[in-house]
Amino acid sequence: MSDFEIVTREDFSDVTYLLEVRHPLMAKAAKPGQFVIVMLNESGERIPLTIADFDVKKGTITLVIQAVGKTTRQMQQECKVGTSLYAMVGPMGVPSTISHAKKVVCVGGGLGVAPIYPQARAFKESGAYVIGVVGFRNKDLVFWEDKFRDCCDEYIICTDDGSAGIKGLVTAGINQAIAKHPDIDEVVAIGPLIMMKGCADATRPYKIKTMVSLNPLMVDGTGMCGGCRVKIGDHVKFACVDGPDFDGHQVDFFDLITRLRRYSKEERMALDHWDKTCRLKKAIDKKFD
């Protein structure tokens, strides 16, 4: 049996899917906020994925993935129950600090909804009053609602089109929570960079501690390559070893967003090449069926 066998596969939408991977030791060691680096096959690239959940009793790590690039789309096509990942290293990164805050808002946008769940659960277990705020494009993309309601005292769903919950971005949910609870101690946000920037901007006037989880480009995951460097205030940090959690009010989001765009051309070329290869393979398979 492989050390990285996929034991569960669930598709939330045409681009978002869940993989539950068997690895008892990793499940026992995992903490909220940490991530793994996976390789689909021997010649594949290394990609960082935040741990969305972990189950010590079952001995599994749960990953929720969005098929946006070459590797994640290939994984969507090839990762089925009974297959295996070539490699999975982790848990990596500094675990999230579950503070002694009495009232916390846990915010997840898009793919960030999944990895905010372990933090919401951990805060609830520590005795905090937890307000969950999650954002989706529409009601058809909503997932894990029951899981969140089990660990959140209040749960606010935001959708772009208003088809579920309140209409608007997650910042609308944050503003609603702040208006109702002026004694919020901390906000934790995970999602796209522009979303986390919006969360930090929303809480800054109220001076509410706001932590964000950064997931920049990584290669080795040990801080040696420097690919994941981020500017935090006047300092340069490495997300893989110093993070991934940082003070959202100190993150230079403009610099980070600019850096992530530098490889867009290469990423597009890799995806296009893979698409053409897949279409050719399908055509050959169909011919000999």
Helices (H), the chain: 24-29, 70-78, 113-125, 145-151, 170-180, 193-203, 239-242, 253-260, 264-287
d(CA 18, CA 218): 22
**Nearest-CA neighbor of 59 among 26, 92, 18?**
26
Enter the DSSP assignment of 230: E
Instruction: Count CB neighbours of 150 within 10 A.
Output: 12
- What pLDDT does residue 210 have? 94
Share of the chain above pLDDT 70, in %: 88
Chain mean position to CA 183? 27
Q: What is the mean pLDDT of residues 188-204?
A: 92
- What pLDDT does residue 263 have? 62
- What pLDDT does residue 288 have? 44
The DSSP bridge partners found for residue 39 are 87
d(CA 57, CA 233): 41
- What pLDDT does residue 278 have? 67
- For residue 217 the two structure tokens come to 């480009």
d(CA 188, CA 98): 10
Is the pLDDT at 187 greater than 80? The verdict is yes
Q: Where in the chain is the domain with CATH 3.40.50.80?
A: 103-213
**Nearest-CA neighbor of 50 among 239, 254, 230, 224?**
239
- For residue 88 the two structure tokens come to 């999975």
More confident: 115 or 221:
115
Q: Where in the chain is the domain with CATH 2.40.30.10?
A: 6-92
- What pLDDT does residue 259 have? 73
Question: Domain 103-213 is of which CATH architecture?
Answer: 3-Layer(aba) Sandwich (3.40)
What residue type is 5 in one-letter code?
Answer: E
Topology of domain 6-92 in CATH is Elongation Factor Tu (Ef-tu); domain 3 (2.40.30)
Q: What is the mean pLDDT of residues 251-276?
A: 73
- What pLDDT does residue 69 have? 80
**Average per-residue pLDDT in the chain?**
85
- What pLDDT does residue 141 have? 86
Enter the DSSP assignment of 141: G
- What pLDDT does residue 202 have? 94
- For residue 101 the two structure tokens come to 């805050």
Band of residue 167 on the pLDDT scale cut at 50, 70, 90? very high
Band of residue 289 on the pLDDT scale cut at 50, 70, 90? low
d(CA 280, CA 284): 6
Is the pLDDT at 284 greater than 60? The verdict is no
Sign of the C-alpha dihedral, residues 240, 242, 245, 250?
A: negative
Is the pLDDT at 212 greater than 90? The verdict is yes
- What pLDDT does residue 1 have? 43
> Considering the entire predicted model, what is its pTM?
0.82
- What pLDDT does residue 219 have? 67
Band of residue 279 on the pLDDT scale cut at 50, 70, 90? low
CA distance from start to end of the chain: 31
The total number of residues shown for the chain amounts to 289
More confident: 87 or 275:
87
- What pLDDT does residue 229 have? 80
Q: What is the mean pLDDT of residues 245-256?
A: 89
Instruction: Count CB neighbours of 178 within 10 A.
Output: 19
Band of residue 221 on the pLDDT scale cut at 50, 70, 90? low
Is the pLDDT at 15 greater than 80? The verdict is yes
Q: What is the mean pLDDT of residues 138-155?
A: 90
Q: What is the mean pLDDT of residues 237-241?
A: 83
Chain mean position to CA 110? 9
3-state SS class at 280: helix
Q: What is the mean pLDDT of residues 138-148?
A: 88
For helices 193-203 and 170-180, what crossing angle results, to 10°?
20
Q: What is the mean pLDDT of residues 114-135?
A: 92
Q: What is the mean pLDDT of residues 263-278?
A: 67
